[in-house]
Amino acid sequence: MVKSYIRRAYSSFTAHVFDIPPRLMAFLFLLVLLVIPVAGLNPYYLSMMIYANVLAIFAASWDLLVGRTGQISLGHALFFGIGGYSTALLFKFFGLPTWVTIPIALLIGSSVAVLIGFPCLRVKGPYLALVTMAFPIILHSIVKWTPLSYIFEGEYGIRRLPAFFAFLPIRQQRIAEYYLTLILFFAAAVIIYKVANSKTGIVFVSILDDELASKACGINVTKYKLMSLIISGLFGTLAGCLQAHLLKVSNPSMFLLTWSFTPIIVTFLGGIGTIYGPLVGAYIYYILDKYFLAIQLPRLCKYFGVTLPGEFEYAKLLIFTLIVLVLVIKWPRGIARFTTDKLEDLEEARDLDERGPRIWKRYERKKK
């Protein structure tokens, strides 16, 4: 009896709580994000949220290129680094303000997308992945090791970049930065989502599914691939610019493989090919990595009286990898898509309930 009561309570709960259209759900998600700084969050968490916003933009741009167009890129760090370095160089040599350097950096980023598009989009599949991977590695060595590196200030990178809201006191600065990244995050998400679901987006998916068949439909495949690469590169560059100005430094580590693989992990966590998946995935990534593993786990260990050895820092990555592995195996289509699938199932069940014949219900009741 208790069991049936619980079940009924649960089903009425799901019926009422999950009875939200996706659009409203996105709106609520944004609303929660909007009030977070007002709720008086710890500045550390707030800055993590800021970086989560930046990562969400970056991962969504990767998802458009790979999840929707099928052009596997393992070198998205290229755009990240280009963004960081172009805004930093423009500041260093011309002393331009931030609101001028970032648009110029975006232009540079999209021209780089065009430039690498011509050699990259001739190759397919694993070869494309390898070619794209090469570019950030080349640039990493250029800015770090070669004689040219004095322009880029070598290993330390270009430091003392201006903050976005330098005129505000430090605490308000964080909050202002949070809102800035949130607005850009939302704008980028809407633009990428709209592009991915437009008629052009349909062509992108057709290239992912079957390139030959879309050629046979009269589609200039190279043009559309390039278009996807440019849009993706643009938002990747934006993320790089934001990261550089938030950290106030753009250093060679922006070209590292880590920055190529983080968006991949994030996208797979959230659900590849959904665009909204990586947005959710970025938050999950930061909660896992920076909150659970960096704060809660040591606290838990302390509580149980376990002393962590100094090597734990390295083990953290292992634990993180294991958690990600479990999540990806459990929900191979991503957490966000898993949720939407559940919602759709509920909707369908409710539709059947409403439209289905009464007799069927009576029959169900009798069976019990």
Partner 1 sequence: MHLLEVENLTKRFGGLTAVKNVSFHIDEGEMVGIIGPNGAGKTTLFNLISGFLEPDSGTVKFEGENITGLAPHKIVNKGIARTFQIVRPFRHLPVIANVMVALKSPRGARKIEWLKTMERKAADLLEDVGISELALEPAENVGHGTLKRLEMAKALATEPDLLMLDEPFGGLNPLETDFLTKSIMRMHLDEPSRGILIVEHKLYALMKIIQRVIVLHQGEKIAEGKPEEIAKNKTVIEVYMGKGM
Chain residues binding partner 1 by CB under 8 A are 199-200, 202-203, 205-206, 208-210, 212-221, 273
Cβ distance to partner 1 smaller for residue 186 or 224: 224
Contact 54, 243 (CB under 8 A): yes
Cβ distance to partner 1 smaller for residue 70 or 240: 70
Output the DSSP codes for 273-284.
Answer: T-SHHHHHHHHH
What phi and psi values does residue 146 have, to the nearest 5 degrees? -70, 165
Least distance between partner 1 and beta carbon 333 (Å):
12
Look up residue 310 and give its DSSP letter.
T
Cβ distance to partner 1 smaller for residue 200 or 253: 200
Structural tokens at position 70: 């099928």
How many Å apart are CA 180 and CA 129, to the nearest integer? 33
How many Å apart are CA 20 and CA 43, to the nearest integer? 32
How many Å apart are CA 66 and CA 87, to the nearest integer? 26
Cβ distance to partner 1 smaller for residue 3 or 199: 199
Print burial letters for 291-318: b (CB count within 10 Å at least 16), e (below 16): eebeeeeeeeeeeeeeeeeeeeeeebee
Least distance between partner 1 and beta carbon 208 (Å):
7
Contact 55, 288 (CB under 8 A): no
Cβ distance to partner 1 smaller for residue 215 or 290: 215
Residues 6+ apart with CB under 8 A from 96: 90, 104
Least distance between partner 1 and beta carbon 206 (Å):
4
Cβ distance to partner 1 smaller for residue 75 or 201: 201
Least distance between partner 1 and beta carbon 184 (Å):
29
Cβ distance to partner 1 smaller for residue 67 or 281: 67
Least distance between partner 1 and beta carbon 226 (Å):
14
Least distance between partner 1 and beta carbon 67 (Å):
10
Contact 179, 37 (CB under 8 A): yes
Cβ distance to partner 1 smaller for residue 67 or 236: 67
Least distance between partner 1 and beta carbon 340 (Å):
15
Instruction: Look at residues 56, 116, 105 and name the one whose alpha carbon lies nearest to residue 81.
Output: 105
Least distance between partner 1 and beta carbon 355 (Å):
18
User: Which is it for the CA torsion 76, 23, 16, 367, positive or negative?
Assistant: negative
